[in-house]
Structure 1
């Protein structure tokens, strides 16, 4: 029995098939940014330094299928660990759906336009630098804060 809601608002993450799972990604690229963790507090900080496999214009992985072989530290997002994804941005569809929240109005599934995430300022396009250009010891100089608590204003600050 259908409620009239689209699958992305209706189905829990655990019920998604592989195609739906991949479509849920908004293409922001923020999961491909390096994070730093304070050893004493455990607090995590986002940087604007991106994985070498991220295409910063398309905000997509250049070798998604083989990313774990090429970047062993690449994190797999899966439904079983969704509630523990505090490091993902509040605008992330996986994080929002894990908490029973709807997708942002600019999400490509809602708009039918993959560029809507970029127009909304929710992606990393134009705001990141490759890890190939920054020494790991210098990541701290690239810590950023993303303004997106309400998901309507997701610009970098």
Structure 2
């Protein structure tokens, strides 16, 4: 992965939006849970960051994915192309680099497009009630 150019690296993103969801960590077990609430910069329609270039300045805890760090981010979705490539696995059949179409991920239901709410104004208790298991993740009933 370190041999990829910046453009090649960016092209791996499948646009699922799952990495932009709010996660909660259990202080006792260290388990990480994903909610259906998205970062305030996430555009629910396009499934992309609304200010990608300035995201770290506006959301200080935003994680910038790098080839050198992606394998350590165990919370990354199991369907994430960055994670799959770092684990030496193939991209899924619906990935745009295989289909030639960015819409395929949404058509097959593997993105969060239109299925999330903004984190803005949600309390921790409300976030807890929004814990969700997404398609392609463990414990999801297909």
Does 1 or 2 have the higher relative contact order (CA < 8 Å, sep 6+)? Answer: 2
Structure 1 counterpart SS, 2:34: strand
Q: For structure 2, which runs of at least 5 residues remain unmatched after alignment? A: none
Residues 36 and 45, structure 1, Cα contact 8 Å, conserved in 2: yes
Equivalence for 2:88: 100
**2: CA distance, partners of 1:31 / 1:73:** 12
Cα distance in 2, alignment partners of residues 149 and 56 from structure 1: 20
Number of the residue aligned with 1:37: 25
- For the residue of structure 1 that corresponds to 2:56, the secondary structure is helix
Which of 55, 70, 78 aligns to 1:67? It is 55
Between the aligned partners of 2:111 and 2:141, the Cα distance in structure 1 is 9
Would you say how many aligned residue pairs link Structure 1 and Structure 2? 141
Give how far 1:79 is off. 0.8
Counterpart-to-counterpart distance in 2, 1:156 and 1:145: 9
Query: In the TM superposition, what whole-angstrom CA distance separates every residue of 1:64-103 from its partner, at most 9, and x where no partner exists?
Result: 0000111111011111112112111111000000000010
2:74 aligned to 86, 89, 94, which one? 86
Contact 1:146 1:156 in 2 (8 A): no
For structure 1, which runs of at least 5 residues remain unmatched after alignment? 1-12
Q: Which whole-Å CA distance do the structure 2 matches of 1:156 and 1:76 have between them? A: 30
Give 1:146 shift.
1.8
Query: Of 86, 102, 109, which aligns to 1:121?
Result: 109
Residues 33-64 of structure 1 show CA distances to partners (whole Å, capped at 9, x for unaligned) of: 00000001100000010001000010000000
Shift, 1:147, TM fit: 3.2
Task: Give the TM-score normalised by the residue count of structure 1.
Answer: 0.84
Larger radius of gyration: 1
Q: TM-score, normalised by structure 2?
A: 0.93
